[in-house]
Structure 1
Amino acid sequence: MLNLKHLVSFLLLFVSMQTVKAQLGFSHEIGAIAGPVQFRSDFGGRDENETNFGNSGIGIGLIHYINFSYRADCNCYTTDTYFNDHFKLRNELSYNRTKLNHFGKWVGADRTSLDADRLRVHSGVASNLDIGTQLEYFPLSIRDFQAFAYSFAPYISLGVHYTYSSPQATTTYGDGNVFNADNIYSYWYQDDSYLPPLESGATREYPIDTKPFSAWSAVASVGVRYKLTKLSDLLLDLRWQYYFSDWVDGLNHELDFNKNNDWLVWLNFGYVYYLD
């Protein structure tokens, strides 16, 4: 299993490889990002504002760009092609953390069932370390932006990230053991009649799992850069990240209304410095 040490080692190796590539005619940019995260998971009712805003956290990250429009080895522009003037490659190491609770109509004051009581006191944490790459497309000329022809440069991006997740789960119901099905919302887990039958010899997976694990995710974003100085930009980026797993929050309710994989929305602000 990939751990933090392996992720950092991989990042250092990757940056080293890109430094070598700079000798071949590219330049580099480095920066940092931070901002609020909304984590959409099996906690709370999906598509409810109370859930979406209640289950909000924070994300931070280090970013590295390969700038194809400028050559670091000669302080000159590269060959004037559409790709060089409109695309950048973004590499990232980031971390997001969100405290999760059940919100919405199922835990309202008018709900007096035992399941509502269980949901109200069940909490979790989504804790994710990401490493990945995105290809950013700038519809306006990157060269012109660097030359102060305009102050703002919008972009869109698409990429893939590898995520190392360390979810947490707690409850104060009953004896406080989240791995006791009587203490959590799990009527369907204890009664197979609510779900399709299992294959012969198979067992139903418990709906909470807090073991660290790794998963892939797809990342798409829309953003804009603001030219601050000759060698620095500010950026604003709105990201959508879809995980190819429903266990990122440590919870998996196998019900029709909660069967989607986990995903998040991240509004991040950043600073980028051009390595000249």
Structure 2
Amino acid sequence: MLNLKHLVSLFLLFVSIQTVKAQLGFSHEIGVVAGPVQFRSDFGGRDENETNFGNTGFGIGLIHYINFAYRADCNCYTTDTYFNDHFKLRNELSYNRTKLNHFGKWVDANRTSLDADRLRAHSGIASNLDIGTQLEYFPLSIRDFQGFAYKFAPYISLGVHYTCSSPKATTTFGDGNIYNEDNIYSPWYKDQSYLPPLDGGTTREYPIDTSSFSAWSAVASVGVRYKLTKLSDLLLDLRWQYYFSDWVDGLNHELKFNKHNDWLVWFNVGYVYYLN
């Protein structure tokens, strides 16, 4: 699996290739983003506010843009087409980390069952390294924004990321072994009469797996830029990221109220600098 060193090298190579291509008629921007992440996973009830706000972590990222509206080789605007004046290509290397616990009615203090104790004792960490590309659409003219015709430039974006996940899981119940089924919530592996058998059999996968792995994810954002100076912008961005896996948090119990793939919401603030 790709590690941090490999992903950084891949990101730099990817940016370098696009930079060479961009020298034929485009310009570049670089920046940094950071902010809180709400990780929506198999911990707690998916639609419970206690879970959504309780399982909040942090994300940080390096971003690179190809600006089609301006040419670096001549310090002039490109051909005035709709695409050049309304789209940018965003490349990103980012990392997010969220401590996960069970919240809601199943771990309420008035529940005194062993399963409630097992849930309260179980915690995890979602740790994800991302590399990917998004195409950003600006309804207003990028040229006019760069020329200070207005201070705010809203945008929407859509893209694909490759995610390297390294989840963790621990428990303080029993002997502390998270892979001992006596220490985890019993309905995850006992109450499965409503689930279809796997491959014609009757056994199912153990619901916890902290192995590192990689998966693709879809990313969509809505945001706005604020013009600070001729060569710098402030960025506000609200992201939705859907993973094509349910193991990103290290837990996949497939109970009916929480059986979907993992996803997150990330609100980030960023600073962007125009290189050319």
- Smaller-chain TM-score range? over 0.9
Contact 1:186 1:207 in 2 (8 A): no
Deviates more, 1:4-13 or 1:55-64: 4-13
* Aligned residue number for residue 156 of structure 2: 156
* Aligned residue number for residue 166 of structure 1: 166
Contact 2:115 2:185 in 1 (8 A): yes
Q: How do 1:249-268 and structure 2 match up within 5 A?
A: 249-268=249-268
Establish whether residue 113 from structure 1 lines up as the match of residue 120 from structure 2: no
Establish whether residue 215 from structure 1 lines up as the match of residue 215 from structure 2: yes
SS of 2:257 mapped into structure 1: helix
* Aligned residue number for residue 40 of structure 1: 40
Q: CA offsets per residue over residues 50-102 of structure 1, 9 Å max, x none?
A: 11110000000000000000000100000000000000000000000000000
Contact 2:197 2:204 in 1 (8 A): no
* Aligned residue number for residue 205 of structure 1: 205
Offset, 1:189: 1.1
SS of 1:220 mapped into structure 2: strand
Establish whether residue 19 from structure 1 lines up as the match of residue 26 from structure 2: no
In 2, Cα distance between the equivalents of 1:131 and 1:124? 23
Q: CA offsets per residue over residues 202-249 of structure 1, 9 Å max, x none?
A: 742110000100000000010000000000000000000000000000
Q: How do 1:179-258 and structure 2 match up within 5 A?
A: 179-190=179-190, 192-200=192-200, 203-258=203-258
Shift >6 Å, 4+ stretches: none
Contact 1:181 1:190 in 2 (8 A): no
* Aligned residue number for residue 270 of structure 1: 270
Q: CA offsets per residue over residues 8-42 of structure 1, 9 Å max, x none?
A: 12111111112211220010000000000000000
Return closer, same or farther for 1:194/1:201 CA change in 2, 3 Å cut-off.
closer
What amino acid is aligned across from residue 93 of structure 1 in structure 2? L
In 1, Cα distance between the equivalents of 2:193 and 2:181? 16
What amino acid is aligned across from residue 265 of structure 2 in structure 1? V
Return closer, same or farther for 1:242/1:137 CA change in 2, 3 Å cut-off.
same
Offset, 1:109: 1.2
- TM-score after normalising by structure 2: 0.97
* Aligned residue number for residue 82 of structure 1: 82
Offset, 1:199: 2.8
SS of 1:256 mapped into structure 2: coil
Question: What is the root-mean-square deviation of aligned Cα atoms in Å?
Answer: 1.2
Aligned-pair identity (%) = 88
In 1, Cα distance between the equivalents of 2:195 and 2:2? 33
- TM-score after normalising by structure 1: 0.97
What amino acid is aligned across from residue 35 of structure 2 in structure 1? G
SS of 1:58 mapped into structure 2: strand
* Aligned residue number for residue 146 of structure 1: 146
In 1, Cα distance between the equivalents of 2:200 and 2:159? 40
